[in-house]
Structure 1
Amino acid sequence: MSAYRQLPPDIADFVGRGRELSLVLGAGGDGGTAVPIVVVEGMAGVGKTRLAVHAAHQLVRAGRYGDGQLYVDLRGFAPDADPAGPGEVLDSFLRLLGVPPDRVPPDVASRAAVLRDRLAGQRVVLVLDNAADEHQVLPLLPADPGCLVIVTSRRSLALEGARTVRLEVFRPDEAAGLLSAVLGPERVATDPGAVADLAARCGYLPLAVALVARRLRARPAWPVRHLLSRLADERRRLDELSVGGRAVESVFALSYRALDPERRRLFRLLGIHPGHDVTADSVAALAKREPSTVESPLESLLDEHLVLQAVPGRYHLHDLVRAYAERLCEREDSAARRKAARRRVLDWYVRGADAATRLGRRFAVNVLGHFPIPAGPAPEFTDERQALDWLDAEYPNLMAALRLAGTGSWHAQAIQLPHILHPYLVTSGRTDDWIAGLHLAEAAAIHLGHTGAWAYTLTTLGLAYNTGGETERGRICLEQALALHRRIGQRDGEADTLNYLGAIRRRLGLRHEAIMDFRASIALYRELGDEVGEARTLSNLSIELHLVGRDEEALRYGHEALAIQSRRSGRGEASLRTNLGLIYAHIGRHAEAVEQTRRALVLHRVAASLPGEAQALANLAFSYARLGRYAEAIESGTGAVALGRQVANPELQAATLNALGEAYHLAGDDHAAVRHHTEALALAERIGDEEERVRANDGLADATSAPIVS
């Protein structure tokens, strides 16, 4: 230090950070007796030093700290030097402040006292950059409230009375602003979409954005999309984020090297954890540790800003930090150790999914007879709501685990997960993910040469395709599955497949064939003693019998299904009551229809079943409209359509649209009726749903008083 005005130069292309800057600029001047302290903390590369230096310059320019400005890099995270000791820093400060070398006290406490004396009555801003911990900072604090201390650190510091400014990554507009400031607005304007994508690929980390901006400035011949394409490869991305002697990876490495061996290992393993975020339980499985021993290291990594947290109990890594952790894991951990860690966490997700869905399953997961749940710790749930909350929170990770299993060598887990998650994927309306997962399971079963698992998967895949409106693909899968089940004598799979084939034939208007399939399925379920399968297929048969005009027989089977279900525990009653209510509604017994359907609606809502709730509301709209309760009909129908749009099930969407269209027509609003029936007709024709096609055409004819020819 050779001058009293020690601030480094301000940054010409400083952009954004308005809220954070105002917090720093607003510190002090409140008439208090304590020195104001601002701690700017955040992950490596987020721009802490830039903000602190810029704020200090702004304060000096405003005339607030004209008596002096002190700056020191405390080297808390330096590549080639130990953190600066407080005594060393105090010695430099005191000499700068005019204390002769021979009058500088030998001990830290005495030097700190002299510093406080020299700064008394002065208006001085001190920037203590890159602090390692509180012990490094405390001796450097003045006592005069006319001073201001700005501290930056990658760690969360517990400095009493300090105002903490937590610096996050850029907002998209701030990242775009920095790119524009460095590259010039003309170059940015040539392809603003690519500029936005470039910032996103940098994870909006200010250092990364600054590096790509400077790299592009040094290569005027490069279009923005050229660098964007180079960053597309996640394994090379860190290599691309460097200019000259500055690189994102080297900045991350400083934080990593400050960790002890156990936290280093944990950090590396986070790079290969499937999904976006982690919990102490999932990391414990990954690292082969007890959850109680993992939470403290995770919290420590959070304090180091190597991991982030959006909700309590869940941790995540910035995309670039994750790439760095994964690279470290590949360098420092053997392939066998990485594979074992991945298998442990996949098994944990299988056990967790099994525990969470078991409470709400209507039927057995047949494939688990061939691929049992692996032993080990699993999440515990006291009720179905808690289980559903876990599934919602872990869903992205469960899908990532499934993709990892399906693209790696974990074939058993690839088969287990989509079958275990079947009830949750149906009730939450995630048909596309269900189909994608089942294709991974199919590939795994074929790879293992396991015909039984292949057949079960084809059965469920046929159901999933039919649910998603791809009727023909569903039929092909089911017929292929039926042949496999029969070839190897897999009777439970044959019964399921016949039930699902009956549903496809119903959609296609093949009434006689559908009835035959349902009856054959029921016979097999009775032979196997599977009352749950028998009840759901009896309910399906009841709908088909109603459609061919055999209403009394339909009602008898519907009530028989409900009686069987009442002897069983678990879910299933809601769907049976929904179907029974539908029959009552269509034969004009609307009071009974409303009673059955309202009871079903309560059960669907308890189970968080979006498709079930949508169908029940559509049934209520049908009956309310015919009872003259038009406001309730439109309200129920509107709710049904809204829920139907949330799930990938075109048949359900067509049914809800038709129900609402009929309600509008009976209420006298034929314009709205035509709009909804027209949309329903398009959906029904696309998936080959004969029942809803006829219903939509009838609705259009009623609303326009003219036949509609399809």
Structure 2
Amino acid sequence: MRLRRGIAIAGVAGGVTVTTMLVGLVTNAVSEQSQWPGWLGWLQEHAWFSFVLLGVVMVVGTASLAALSETRTPVPVAEPPRPSEDGAGLPGAALVLRSLPRDTAAFTDRTTELEALVRSVRDWQDSGQALPVHVVDGMPGVGKTTFAVRAGHVLSERFPDGQLFVNLNGYTPGRSPVQATEALASLLAATGVPTQQIPVGDDMGAVAEARAAMWRGRLADKKALLILDNAASYRQLEPLLPGGGGCLVLVTSRKRLAANEEVVLPVEALPPDHAVDLFVRLSGRSANSLDRAVVGALVRMCSYLPLGVSLLAARLRHHPSWSAENLRERLAAARDRLGEMRAGERAVTATFDLSYRDLPQERQRFFQSLGRYPGTDLDAYVSAALGAVPVADARRHLDALYDDHLIDEQPGGRYQLHDLLRDYARDLAARERVRMDDVRTITRVCAYYLAALADANSHIVRAGADALPPPDDASEVETPRLESRTAALEWLENERPNILTCIQRANSLDLHGLVIRLAAAMAPFLRQAGPWDQAVGLHRTAADAARRTGDRRALAGALAELGVVRRFMAAYPKAIEALSEAVTEYEAVDDRQGKAHALNQAGIVWYLTADTEAAARAQTERPCPLPRGGRPVRAGQRTRRPRDGA
């Protein structure tokens, strides 16, 4: 490769030199009609010397430009680690909202904290200095995210270049914290970077650095607002920080994050008077009709946490015949049932238990099923698959749970469970037949995604290309109507993190057949949209699942897709390695069409590596394996044994 590059450089430089000399000869002939002024006259008298010198300069300049371009490799490629059996090596994706979530009516008077934040931002902006990171910390259920969202809406006019919201899942039950590479890829895509241009590779450290550099470049000289919700540590969020000083970063976390430049804004439990006022406002009762002393006891029993106060008020609003004293007695009984829990958990969990027990039995089962969902957010279609109910019933249940403050509504008709409520729902589900219920629930969700992906792929897979058929039980699930390529791509982009997380959960439950089929169904989208490192992780996981089940045809398909993505990443030796193994597996199952596809892809790789002879031969015979050094070996060529001492 270097020899070919050198020959190309020499050819270009020689051509430039000859052209320069020819132009000079013409110029000299014309210029003989007049005498050049000053030092140019000397050049006119020694024209050949000046032309040769100019040619040398052109050669050096061309070589320098080539050398500079060779050093601009964004991400080095290294051997990726094998995915672990527990699914830790599976790809991930972060959920990024391009605008702030909707403000909530449950926000109560936090004038002191809000004024402190606005004053801090104003003072830093007026001083002309870079804005520091502002960290909102406090215990679970205290309203950190709600406060950050309200502050974002209040400050949005000061940051006209955009507002972004990222859930880092630092303490989300059942989910691993979002990695920097995942969050950066989603942030870059949200700000308009084509996913094919997002740096990829197998060295995660180098990938993170390249993506962070691109992210800082995107926000340079911008005034944007970035909310990083539910952060586990400063190390998790540090690569996501913009480089420019005009952007405001609001971070929410359950614990104090260590950083020198941060401004800490602690959010404590509500003052008693504010908690009572919030309860009265959300209960739908007039202040005169409520015994303020009883209400004070109610909000004290849930430790003045806004989440607990909201749930209690919703209970009273939905039961007009109850009095505040009736509600207090029920809450006391719930606290006694949960007495084995730690005191801090018992206060808020008692309000959950009170709300849950008041639900109809069918809605209780539906709520439990939401706790088994491994994704970040969901819509009515996923909810219907989770609860094994029609979509119309799922919408009815979601609306009722939202009215009861048991779920939060997100933009676009989507819903999300608070981390504490998700944990509570998972605990409820754990009291039943855990393994079998989890398997059935994930199987239903995966069947839904397979059916929806078949519809989406019908719009994005080019005509004449093979597309996976919908699953046999596709008629049993309802899917959204995707009537165009744009709608299909938008749906896929929104559901990407949830589908990848469901694949991870299916893999942990040894549902290898579903892993293989979902990976194949996601392949067309990831091949086009990337990021390709997610595709690499997904196809490696599918290949591992196929090996475990002994499905050689599925193994061949996963390896072929892996080879294609490796080609896109310019990892040519690894592409040939995967495609060669795919050819072997296709031969073993006598799949000639699959073998032809893999050979065609291998031929493209050979062609890109300037081995046209091997590229042509790959169309009719198996491509040659790679030696340990990684450089392709041509047919009929033997590897040379190194000399002693070499």
Higher helix share: 1
TM-score grouping bracket, smaller chain normalisation: 0.3 to 0.5
Question: TM-score of the superposition, structure 2-length normalised?
Answer: 0.45
Taking CA–CA contacts closer than 8 Å with sequence separation of 6 or more, which of the two structures ends up with the larger relative contact order? 2
